[in-house]
Amino acid sequence: MNANERPSHGYLRGARIQPTAITGRESVAELVDRAFLAYNGARLREGAHLLVERMLADDVTVALSLTGALTPAGLGMSAIIPLMEAGFVDWIVSTGANLYHDAHFGLGLSLHQGTFAVDDVELHDNGVVRIYDIFFDYKVLLDTDAFFREIISGPEFQRAMSTAEFHNLCGKYLSAREKALGSEKRSLLAAAWEYGVPIYTSSPGDSSIGMNVAAKALEGNGLMFDVNADVNETAAIVWDAKASGGRSAVWILGGGSPKNFLLQTEPQIQEVLGIAEKGHDYFLAVTDARPDTGGLSGATPAEAVSWGKIDPDQLPGTVICYTDSTIALPLLTAYALARHAPRTRKRIYDRRENLMKRLREAYYAHGRAGEGADRG
């Protein structure tokens, strides 16, 4: 047998790389399908297909994690709010910083395009704050701090609550402020309140919001973040999605603590609560972190299988794309909105008490409840 007659063993079954020329008249979805054929372009196309063809099925509960300064770049307004409005995102884990900077927009405060090639001492002298190439007046921080300190002084905040409860209340007040300013659909928190999307923060003290809550505690304010409720509520969301005959999908932007907090829901169910489960069904990640440094931000879905975070039978339903979230998120959002009809919103926030009841029942009926209670 000569080289021209060798069997390929199926390796050459993939579509031939022979794209049509780009004309400038293509939609985003057409461009992704036709021209993103190799390397991380192909991974983004595969992620877009995974999102539209599998993750957005009606019986899939979709979680989104947000790391990196995405809301200051306007991605809350341009991408995440439209995704929630279409029913494509059911619950969120975010850094507190993303939610603090989101509030600027709901309060009518302005952020501006700038440049990274600048003298930061000169910016400081002129009262300008920089997030890479985003500029805003230092007064934006002071006004946003004042907003949070004012609302958390109210009677409905004087108790322990999950971060989802806290963000829901903040969203209600930001929505009212948007309406008063005539600038609706600018705040992610306000939209999440409207659409019943719970938003959790894995490290509530690690942001300006948490710093203001801590400051008010010095004055005797009664607000406390119940991190136990956060761990159990997020596990309850995933448990209900799977126990009800549906599936769970994770869409990860960046890495860090929000990624881990989102993924740890499955070890919480399996390892800690002792309830039989197999892991999340679909995994779509966008990151610029490498896996070989050992950090969670770059950890692959295959590695997550060893922790029980991802169902090993579903590894074909996982995609990791190594690129910047500010590039991938607008493209994936445009693709999803072009290729998939809106879904009925699951309004998970409204069902939190029932979800917790179901998880508690499963814990006592099938899990480890009571283990070690009689130990000295």
pLDDT digits (tens, 9 = 90+) for 170-215: 999 999 999 999 988 899 999 999 999 999 999 999 999 999 999 9
List the chain pLDDT tens, one digit each, 376 residues. Answer: 555 667 667 888 888 999 999 999 999 999 999 999 999 999 999 999 999 999 999 999 999 999 999 999 999 999 999 999 999 999 999 999 999 999 999 999 999 999 999 999 999 999 999 999 999 999 999 999 999 999 999 999 999 999 999 999 999 999 999 999 998 889 999 999 999 999 999 999 999 999 999 999 999 999 999 999 999 999 999 999 999 999 999 999 998 899 999 999 999 999 999 999 988 999 999 998 666 666 555 566 666 555 555 555 555 678 999 999 999 999 999 999 999 999 999 999 999 999 999 999 999 999 999 776 543 3
Contacts of residue 35, Cβ cutoff 8 Å, sequence gap at least 6: 19, 22, 26, 41
Distance CA 122, CA 117 (A): 12
CATH of the domain at 69: 3.40.910.10
In-domain check, residue 151: no
In-domain check, residue 325: yes
Distance CA 279, CA 263 (A): 9
Q: What is the end-to-end Cα distance of the chain in Å, rounded?
A: 75
User: Which one of 172, 242, 278, 309 is the catalytic residue?
Assistant: 309
Distance CA 163, CA 102 (A): 16
Residue 45's domain comprises: 27-108+184-205+226-366
In-domain check, residue 351: yes
Could you tell me the two tokens for 6? 């060798």
Report the domain count for the chain.
Answer: 1
Residue 4 has what pLDDT? 63
Residue 183 has what pLDDT? 86
| Secondary structure letter of residue 344 according to DSSP | P
Residues 106-140 as b/e (b if ≥16 CB within 10 A, e otherwise) read bbebebeebeeeeeeeeeeeeebbeeeebbbbeeb
Q: How far is CA 12 from CA 9, 16, 40, 45, 47, in A?
A: 8, 9, 20, 19, 22
In-domain check, residue 279: yes
Active site residue 259: no
Q: How far is CA 245 from CA 64, 248, 265, 308, 365, in A?
A: 21, 10, 17, 19, 18
In-domain check, residue 214: no
Residue 374 has what pLDDT? 46
pLDDT, tens digit (0-9, with 9 covering 90-100), for 251-308:
999 988 999 999 999 999 999 999 999 889 999 999 986 666 665 555 666 665 555 5
In-domain check, residue 285: yes
Contacts of residue 176, Cβ cutoff 8 Å, sequence gap at least 6: none
State the burial class of residue 360 (Cβ atoms within 10 Å of its Cβ: 0-12, 13-18, 19+). middle
In-domain check, residue 261: yes
Q: How far is CA 184 from CA 96, 187, 191, 210, 345, in A?
A: 22, 8, 9, 25, 19
In-domain check, residue 18: no
